[in-house]
Structure 1
């Protein structure tokens, strides 16, 4: 979703409603699409005495040594920090939705200490619980860069790194660069980006080598309590097209607007998608669609090609350190006769 056009607090609150939440509901373009200008993109520089980082507000903060106590409020930040650091020892607390993702995914199994950490540091809409955060005495707090979210923390004397989100893989690269620098491990950001770039090139090569277009794939960010589909300018639209599929929500009969757009089942019936993806932003499962009489005539239902997007080290819907796994998984879903070595790639990641 284009959060430069909308208030991020309002946009992201939609994604955490119902407690089954995740960060950044699949949003924005990436990879092969032109990148929107992002002011204050992250840069980091280090020397033997200090670490200076310019956050995505354009504000520079300096640490005298690598940080050891980090509180994260944006939902993707906790898992990304652990992935870069190789453990949860330097994570002090996180947003509850981040904690839920760790509990329900593999991250909490790999790093059980993370599940013991406080996760009451912010409300659903990312408003910080300043007293809870101060009690942890963090070296730095990671927060969305909206002034109303940062100001209470800085007014309390806390050091804040502000993040912005445009729904692109480049967001992950920028955050990783900041996190790796402040942890004293800048090489980790370089490593992650190189790996991601390699996998992106592989997926593009596979798609370019196919003789025909892939199936129509509809991504539903919400199923329970009202349908929402990934329309124009979403990360989900990007990866559907990346693997060689088509997105009916941006095709000949597109949904109006950008981001996650509401629709009714009659529109889905009209599109008749061949594959339906259920996002990790509510509790819907394929069986919920299979058992609903209204959906029985849709191609994806008749061929049993309804899938819930995986939750690994983090949810695979939005851009993250595991996005290449989402690209390969979706490629396998779209083209089952040419499956990749996904299990091996998961183990590698």
Structure 2
């Protein structure tokens, strides 16, 4: 009887192990492609969304990374030796296919900015998932994808709950602002006349903080507009993309912008160089809310909330990241 029981247990363990090995997920990516991936993934290359990796603790599974990750403050805080992971190019579209093939990844996560690159990698026999979250819900979906790839769903669900706590705090305050007191806001990008429009995570964040996106009626991700149009919009607050090559002072002291209310009142702010495809989008949103409506958030201790968030989600301190950023 004992031998039969032991044999049954051994067979059960074998069947269980085989079923785990054979597990897979099917995901429809941003380009509408249906990709089937065996999970958990053992070898992965990430050209983008590496800030999501920062919460998963799966660095032993990452065999390639986008080159921009080397200079990312969060990545350097959680993975100081990040440069030990080879790069096969950048999220901007440059790909070193020889390095990529040498790493033999089970999956490649790529930005859909250049669909031809995804097609090229696919033609080389690689399984590629194209991502480009254009809303908060899409970001959550991409985060959950990362959890499924590495069997880290609980970590992702926890991070999303922590994000939602901060969003709820912001909404609670912003919902009390009368409609006629809501401020006109604008997000400008790589050049001052490139604006974030009605499609994209930035527009969702503007809604959460109670701001009126002056370019929100344009059904695009981004658009180039004239300085005359920005003057006509006359935003109360202007935010600058964190990776832009210019600073707030370049807008504040530019005579072409002097008649805009945000410039006259000194309400032009450059965002931190943080990805908006990241859990710390919630911290960016809180920072934006405080800058937009200081009178409604004057009792909020931003540093304390950020510290608590970083420790819970990334198991590091906010101060560590700030030191690297500065």
What band does the TM-score fall into relative to the shorter chain? Answer: 0.7 to 0.9
**Contact 2:136/2:204, CA 8 A, preserved across alignment:** no
Between the aligned partners of 1:50 and 1:194, the Cα distance in structure 2 is 30
Q: 2:172 aligns with which of 205, 208, 215?
A: 205
* TM-score (norm: length of structure 2): 0.77
**Contact 1:229/1:262, CA 8 A, preserved across alignment:** yes
Q: CA deviation at 1:122?
A: 5.1
Worse overlay, 191-200 or 324-333:
191-200
Residues 167-198 of structure 1, C-alpha deviations (whole Å, 9 max, x = no match): 01222222222222222222112212222233
Does 1:343 pair with 2:303? yes
**Contact 2:45/2:109, CA 8 A, preserved across alignment:** yes
Q: 1:92 aligns with which of 36, 47, 63?
A: 63
Residues 192-234 of structure 1, C-alpha deviations (whole Å, 9 max, x = no match): 222223333332222112345332111112335xx11122223
SS at match of 2:54: helix
Residues 216-265 of structure 1, C-alpha deviations (whole Å, 9 max, x = no match): 111112335xx111222232222122211222223xxx5x5522111121
**Contact 1:53/1:178, CA 8 A, preserved across alignment:** no
Worse overlay, 89-98 or 334-343:
89-98
SS at match of 1:134: helix
Does 1:222 pair with 2:190? yes
**Structure whose CA Rg is larger:** 2
The residue number in structure 2 matching 1:134 is 101
The residue number in structure 1 matching 2:318 is none
Distance 1:202 1:161, change over 3 A: farther
The residue number in structure 1 matching 2:9 is none
Residues 126-169 of structure 1, C-alpha deviations (whole Å, 9 max, x = no match): 5x4221112223332223568643343344343x2413324012
**Contact 2:144/2:156, CA 8 A, preserved across alignment:** yes
**Contact 1:220/1:228, CA 8 A, preserved across alignment:** yes
The residue number in structure 2 matching 1:125 is 93
Question: Within 5 Å, which residues of 2 pair with 1:258-337?
Answer: 258-311=220-273, 314-315=274-275, 318-337=276-295
The gaps in structure 2 that reach 5 residues or longer are 1-17, 311-326
Between the aligned partners of 2:38 and 2:219, the Cα distance in structure 1 is 41
SS at match of 1:141: strand
TM-align CA RMSD: 2.6
**Contact 1:219/1:276, CA 8 A, preserved across alignment:** yes
The residue number in structure 2 matching 1:35 is none
Question: Within 5 Å, which residues of 2 pair with 1:46-195?
Answer: 48-56=20-28, 57-63=33-39, 66-73=40-47, 75=48, 77-83=49-55, 85-86=56-57, 88-100=59-71, 102=72, 105-121=73-89, 124-125=92-93, 128-144=95-111, 148-158=116-126, 160-195=127-162
* TM-score (norm: length of structure 1): 0.72
Of structures 1 and 2, the one scoring higher in RCO (CA 8 A, sep 6+) is: 1
The gaps in structure 1 that reach 5 residues or longer are 1-45
